[in-house]
Amino acid sequence: MNVLHFIQQFFSDSAHWHGYDGIPTRLREHVQYSLIALGIAAAIGLPVGLVTGHTGRGGNSLALIATAARALPSFGLLVLMFVLLGLGHLPVMIPLVVLAVPPILVTTYEAMRSVDPSPVDAARGMGMAESRILFHVELPVALPLILSGLRSAAIQIVSTATIAAYVSLGGLGRYIVDGLYQRNYEKVVGGASLVAVLALVTLGFFWAVARLTVSPGVRRGH
């Protein structure tokens, strides 16, 4: 009950809805950072994952990259980049992208590898070009898994972008970090609920994208 009370107080305070520290501004910042980071990570991870998955080479080195990236502490990396590079967006974007590339890359690779080889062979026998096989045969079947890799990456980014408020990034994490310093628990819980909702919206977004883009035949197969 207590927490709900704080949340209600936070949202009913009209001061939280205007200006540079208002909820719309912070939400926009958070979404913006997350989208940029996800965009860069996908631009790196998807092509590499698709090609390595299609050719089947480099699986071992990808597994190594995945383990190494998982071992890196995201928060520590964030603070380290901030200390080394100073204020700005770059020191925050580097850890966000570094953390998001491995899930996209590895899941895309695994997704392409897990495609049933017989339709691929059939397509090749029919004389389809390799690029057409990749995009018209393998990709539609691998899509659910690829999307789930993007989803893990997105959730990870939203979560880490929250922590990035500690190294002076904007976004919804500001409420939590500032609130903790000011001992303003109402602000802390308000920010936390916003972040949690944003994460769940992200989850829902990817669910919806999967519903719309995955072909019904593939979906039924799973």
Partner 1 sequence: MSGLFEIPSDLQNTYWGLVVLHLRLALVPVAAGLLVALPLAQLCVRLRWLYPPVLWVTTVLYAVPSLAFFVVLIDYTGQTETTVMIPLAVYSLVVFVPALVDGVRSVPQETMDAATAMGLGPLRRYLQVQLPIAAPAIIAGLRVATVSSISLVSVGMLIGNQGGLGNLLNDGMIYHQPRLIWLSVIGTAVLAIAADAALVVLRTVLTPWMPRGRSAARPAPAEARPEPAAPVLKDAAR
Rounded to 5 degrees, what are φ and ψ at 89?
A: -85, -30
The answer to whether 3 contacts partner 1 (rule: CB under 8 A) is yes
The answer to whether 74 contacts partner 1 (rule: CB under 8 A) is yes
Q: Which residues from 86-105 bind partner 1, rule CB under 8 A?
A: 99, 102-103
Long-range Cβ contacts of 125-133 (<8 Å, 24+ apart): 130/54, 133/54
The letter for the amino acid at 111 is: A
Tokens of 141: 């079947």
Which residue bears the tokens 């590079």? 85
The answer to whether 25 contacts partner 1 (rule: CB under 8 A) is no
Q: At what angle do helices 74-85 and 90-113 cross, to 10 degrees?
A: 140
Tokens of 173: 């994490």
Residue number with CB closer to partner 1 (129 or 208) = 208
The answer to whether 140 contacts partner 1 (rule: CB under 8 A) is no
Binding residues for partner 1 (CB under 8 A)? 2-3, 6, 59-60, 63, 66-67, 69-77, 79-80, 82-84, 99, 102-103, 106-107, 110-111, 113-114, 144-145, 148-149, 151-153, 155-156, 158-160, 162-163, 166, 173, 176-177, 179-180, 185, 188-189, 191-193, 195-196, 199-200, 202-203, 210, 221-222
